[in-house]
């Protein structure tokens, strides 16, 4: 649930700290018509008290004050978990030297502005800092939500494994294993695989999200990479009697890609095609050389890859959300092979990191095509 503080009509609360009353009056007067609510503090100590009790959205902190100066006040604000993340703008007339500015930033100041205060500039900075704070808060919340979902998703398979161990631990040493025991091992194995996939996907996603993806790009013959992907999945496709067609020509120029990560894209897309296609359906992979705009590149050659299946498809209204983590279509919830909704977001991060783009088109009940682009290796 979003807090009141993110609503459009909400007036941000600004705590202004200055030991000179005239300065406070002046700012209060200048900000009268602006969309901010003002709180005043005449000393560092008063600032700490009000900041703790009222948690303002932003603090405008004078540096030169008797007893506790702005630096010490800032240090104490940052040391208290209640006030540590409130954005602080340092206000200075005398401390314009680089050392003071550096000292303020080191202590956790977000901005510096100099006196006399330019009101329009102050309002813009306040707005910017508050927007950044909201974005950070939302990101923190998303991280927490991911963690909660991960733990929730791990619980299912873990409960499955626990019940298998419970049943097997009563076996006497030397007792012969019966058919049902082997079935239990198989079910525990499936649960373990689910947990491993989930943890790997989650780690990949957070790794790819947090830093720029580390790519080892090199010229790669695409038909070989596709063969590698097909080899990994051939057996399960055969079992479900889904025809698997490899239509990537050997004459296609080499792609300039990170082979391992692009293999992960193929496997994720094939795994989806497998899950969402009924017994007796068909899946095909094709690729062709194209020219035009591809992700960041304009008027360049690139390789366009299509993975097409004859499965259940995706309703138009649900297409846009699928490349975001944990998003699944309503119809996908009903199939037995449960996933976590991370596969496509990982594909998107990998494809885009290599300068390409990924999209999907679907005719529900007939066919679905995931399409992505890859850069072409330069010919010598």
Ligand X SMILES: Nc1ncnc2c1ncn2[C@@H]1O[C@H](COP(=O)(O)OP(=O)(O)OP(=O)(O)O)[C@@H](O)[C@H]1O
DSSP 3-state of 36:
coil
**Region from 22-30, 61-69, 233-241, 327-335 binding ligand X, contact rule CB under 6 A:** 327-335
Binders in 197-236 for Mg ion, by CB under 5 A: none
Q: What number of H helices and E strands is found in the chain?
A: 10, 12
Q: Given the complex with ligand X, which of 57 and 204 has the nearer CB atom? A: 204
In the complex, minimum distance from the CB of residue 316 to ligand X, in angstroms, rounded to a whole number: 13
Q: Residues touching Mg ion: how many (CB under 5 A)?
A: 3
What character string, x for contact with ligand X (CB under 6 A) and - otherwise, covers 146-185? Answer: ----------------------------------------
- The CA distance from 30 to 28, in Å, is 6
Distance, first Cα to last Cα, the chain? 56
Query: Which listed residue (44, 70, 87, 339) binds ligand X by CB under 6 A?
Result: 339
Query: Which listed residue (23, 73, 368, 373) binds ligand X by CB under 6 A?
Result: 368
Asked if 311 is part of the footprint of Mg ion (rule: CB under 5 A), the reply reads no
Non-local (6+) Cβ contacts of 102 within 8 A are: none
Binders in 198-237 for ligand X, by CB under 6 A: 201
In the complex, minimum distance from the CB of residue 141 to ligand X, in angstroms, rounded to a whole number: 21
Q: Name which of ligand X, Mg ion, none residue 312 binds, using a CB cut-off of 5 to 8 Å depending on partner kind.
A: ligand X
In the complex, minimum distance from the CB of residue 276 to ligand X, in angstroms, rounded to a whole number: 3
- The CA distance from 155 to 44, in Å, is 49
Q: Burial letters for 217-232: b for 16+ Cβ neighbours within 10 Å, e otherwise?
A: beebbbbebbeebbee
Asked if 295 is part of the footprint of ligand X (rule: CB under 6 A), the reply reads no
What character string, x for contact with Mg ion (CB under 5 A) and - otherwise, covers 333-352? Answer: ------x---x---------
In the complex, minimum distance from the CB of residue 198 to Mg ion, in angstroms, rounded to a whole number: 11
Q: Given the complex with Mg ion, which of 87 and 339 has the nearer CB atom? A: 339
In the complex, minimum distance from the CB of residue 239 to ligand X, in angstroms, rounded to a whole number: 18
Q: Residues touching ligand X: how many (CB under 6 A)?
A: 22
Asked if 273 is part of the footprint of ligand X (rule: CB under 6 A), the reply reads yes
Report residue 106: phi and psi, to 5°.
-60, -35
Asked if 367 is part of the footprint of ligand X (rule: CB under 6 A), the reply reads no
What character string, x for contact with Mg ion (CB under 5 A) and - otherwise, covers 257-296? Answer: ---------------x------------------------
Non-local (6+) Cβ contacts of 78 within 8 A are: 84, 107, 108
User: Do 358 and 371 touch, CB atoms closer than 8 A?
Assistant: yes
β-bridge partners, 92: 114
User: Do 69 and 44 touch, CB atoms closer than 8 A?
Assistant: yes
β-bridge partners, 285: 246, 307
Q: How far is CA 121 from CA 94, 116, 124, 134, 158, in A?
A: 19, 11, 5, 20, 55
Residue with tokens 């939302």: 138
Binders in 242-271 for ligand X, by CB under 6 A: 268
User: Do 236 and 242 touch, CB atoms closer than 8 A?
Assistant: no
Footprint on this chain of ligand X (rule: CB under 6 A)? 201, 268, 272-273, 276, 309, 311-314, 322, 327-329, 332, 339-344, 368
Footprint on this chain of Mg ion (rule: CB under 5 A)? 272, 339, 343
């Amino acid at each position: 649930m979003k807090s009141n503080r993110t609503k459009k009509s909400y007036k941000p609360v600004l705590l202004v700290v200055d030991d000179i009353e005239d300065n406070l009056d002046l700012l209060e007067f200048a900000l009268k018509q602006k969309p901010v609510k003002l709180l005043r503090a005449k000393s560092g100590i008063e600032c700490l008290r009000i900041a703790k009790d009222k948690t303002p959205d932003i603090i405008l902190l004078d540096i030169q004050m008797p007893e506790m100066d702005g630096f010490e006040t800032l240090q104490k604000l940052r040391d208290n978990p209640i006030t540590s993340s409130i954005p602080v703008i340092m206000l200075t007339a005398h401390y314009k030297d680089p050392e003071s500015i550096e000292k303020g930033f080191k202590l956790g100041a977000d901005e510096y502005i100099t006196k006399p205060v330019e009101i329009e500039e102050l309002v813009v900075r306040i707005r910017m800092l508050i927007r950044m704070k909201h974005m950070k808060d939302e990101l923190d919340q998303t991280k927490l939500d991911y963690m909660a979902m991960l733990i929730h998703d791990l619980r299912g398979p873990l409960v499955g494994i626990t019940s298998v161990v419970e049943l097997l631990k009563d076996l006497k040493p030397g007792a012969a294993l019966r058919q049902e025991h082997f079935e239990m091992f198989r079910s525990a194995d499936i649960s373990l695989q689910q947990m491993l996939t989930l943890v790997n996907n989650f780690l990949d996603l957070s790794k790819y999200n947090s830093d720029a993806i580390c790519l080892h790009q090199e010229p790669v013959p695409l038909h070989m990479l596709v063969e590698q992907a097909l080899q990994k999945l051939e057996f399960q496709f055969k079992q479900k009697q889904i025809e698997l067609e490899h239509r990537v020509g050997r004459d296609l120029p080499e792609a300039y890609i990170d082979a391992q990560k692009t293999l992960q894209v193929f496997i994720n897309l094939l795994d989806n095609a497998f899950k969402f296609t009924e017994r007796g359906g068909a899946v095909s992979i094709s690729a062709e050389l194209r020219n035009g705009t591809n992700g960041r590149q304009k008027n360049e050659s690139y390789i366009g890859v299509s993975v097409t299946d004859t499965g259940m498809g995706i309703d138009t209204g649900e297409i846009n959300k699928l490349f975001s983590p944990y998003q699944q279509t309503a119809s996908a919830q009903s199939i037995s092979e449960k996933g976590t909704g991370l596969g496509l977001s990982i594909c998107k991060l990998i494809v885009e990191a290599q300068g390409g783009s990924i999209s999907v088109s679907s005719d529900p009940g007939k066919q679905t095509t995931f399409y992505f682009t890859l850069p072409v290796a330069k010919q010598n």
